Chains A and B, each alone.
Chain A
Amino acid sequence: MQDWITKTPTRDEAGAVERLERDPASRKRFLRMMGGAGAATAFATFLAACGSGSDSGSGSGSDNGGQPSAGAPAANPAGGAAATREGSPDPRVGTTDLEIVGYALTLEQLETAFYADVVESGLFRGADLDMIEQFGEHEREHRETLEATVEMLGGDVPKAPKTKFPLESPGSVLRLAAEVENVGAAAYLGQANRIRSEEVLAAALSIHSVEARHAATLNALVGLPPEPQGSFAVPASMEEVLTGVQRFIVS
């Protein structure tokens, strides 16, 4: 489970990161998504960290049934390498709480836009529409809280990215919603133990479990297991998540 400690990247994984690094278009998009100038540093550090093999995802997070493709769930979540937060190899290399909150905010902006588009699409009525509206309202509240948190941490609230989602049929939209929520839950899980502030961590956790509820509910609706990864949820890295959601970002 502790990818950054135990996992050495395969050639494929390194390839995904290098592709991202070489492709100026995607790098620019990525930077915009991370929001602001501070993000550029975070991105550079992040790539450096990936290059050295400390936290490299598979990079194909968008095409596996909506599930993040981090390492396999371990039977022993402690990974046999327990140490204190101070003493561990630091997985937070250069990542500040502000950058993590900015990243979470980007995801919430995306989710809020998604549900707004779905409501507007007119594809849903009745109980399904009620559920979609409620989930969308939750994402909006998450976004507002994270915006306030960014300001509290002394940052500037990034502009929401322009998004476009393929909204074809009720079935495909629900499957997409399930994918987005599963990725969202995995994204929060991937950052939880990199957060320094107790207050920010408490806030992130209180959002994480709500994303998990959304994901389980939507999974069940589209015929997937509510706990598709079994007894232990699998975290996703920033790189995996942002690569996965890039296809929804127009600019």
Chain B
Amino acid sequence: MAHANTAVPESGAIEVRGFTRGAFILRGALAVGAVYGAGTIGPFVKQAVAQDAESSGDVEILNFALTLEYVEAEFYRQALELDLSSGVMALAQTLGTHERDHIAALKETIDVVGGTPTDEPQVSFPIRDERSFLELAQTLEETGVSAYNGAAPNIESREVLAAAGQIVQIEARHAADIRTARALPPAPKAFDDSLEMDQVLEAVQPFTKS
């Protein structure tokens, strides 16, 4: 499974503030993606969520996912204030709706498994126009795909795993939508994988210390 890992410096421009564990992991994921490429995000997240042995694994994974969805939803909300062409505006609206639904579902799921939904982080995005919006949208959606795929095998509950699957498929479709809007190949690789663990884990070690 050949990797086509390319660094995504744009993800370094997304600022996620806050002291929740989810915000911490997401900051790390974005930093790792910026330096080593989206394919490294999955392994990073996998390791980060596995590190915290005291907390319930599924709740931590769900709260990380919730943080990611908060960031995405806020991103698409801010995008609506930009001067976008009608097609791209419609895309931002649809994708924003999906992310808000994911937030609601994840919060409910966290309640059901007996956890406490994490707070929404403060975020800022360097988006000025359609071009910078699409560029960053791609980064966020690819981060989402890689993060869900990386964390999912660590999920204990079958119900939570099924729910994560229902969401990651939508994130992958979003990634394809955005790439198509940018006239890029919607599926650049045969595998959205995160399998080259050994090399990656060493590289991401510095980012996983809290």
Contacts and interface: CB of A to CB of B under 8 A. Distances in A.
Interface of A: 1-2, 73, 75-86, 88, 91, 131, 134-135, 137-138, 141-142, 145, 185, 189, 192-194, 198, 201-203, 205-210, 212-217, 220, 225-227, 230-235
A86 B180 CA distance: 41
B173 A76 contact: no
Interface of B: 1, 94, 97-98, 101-102, 104-105, 108-109, 112-113, 145, 148-149, 152-163, 165-177, 180, 185-187, 189-195
6 contacts: A76-B108, A82-B160, A205-B168, A205-B192, A206-B194, A210-B172
B11 to A, nearest CB: 18
A209 B105 contact: no
Nearest to A220: B180
B109 A210 contact: no
A232 B170 contact: yes
Given A2-B159, A88-B158, 17 more contacts: A1-B162, A75-B104, A76-B105, A76-B112, A77-B166, A83-B157, A83-B158, A83-B159, A142-B191, A185-B169, A189-B166, A205-B152, A209-B171, A216-B172, A216-B174, A227-B173, A231-B102
B88 to A, nearest CB: 13
B80 to A, nearest CB: 18
Interface SS, B side = helix
A144 to B, nearest CB: 9
A118 B154 CA distance: 39
A227 B194 contact: no
Contact of B172 (A77, A83, A209): A209
Contact of B169 (A79, A135, A212): A212
Contacts of B105: 75-78, 231-232
Centre residue among B154, B158, B187, B190 by max chain A CB count within 10 A: B158
Contacts of B187: 134-135, 138, 210, 213-214, 217
A235 B192 contact: no
B173 A226 contact: yes
Contacts of A80: 112
Contacts of B101: 75, 230-232
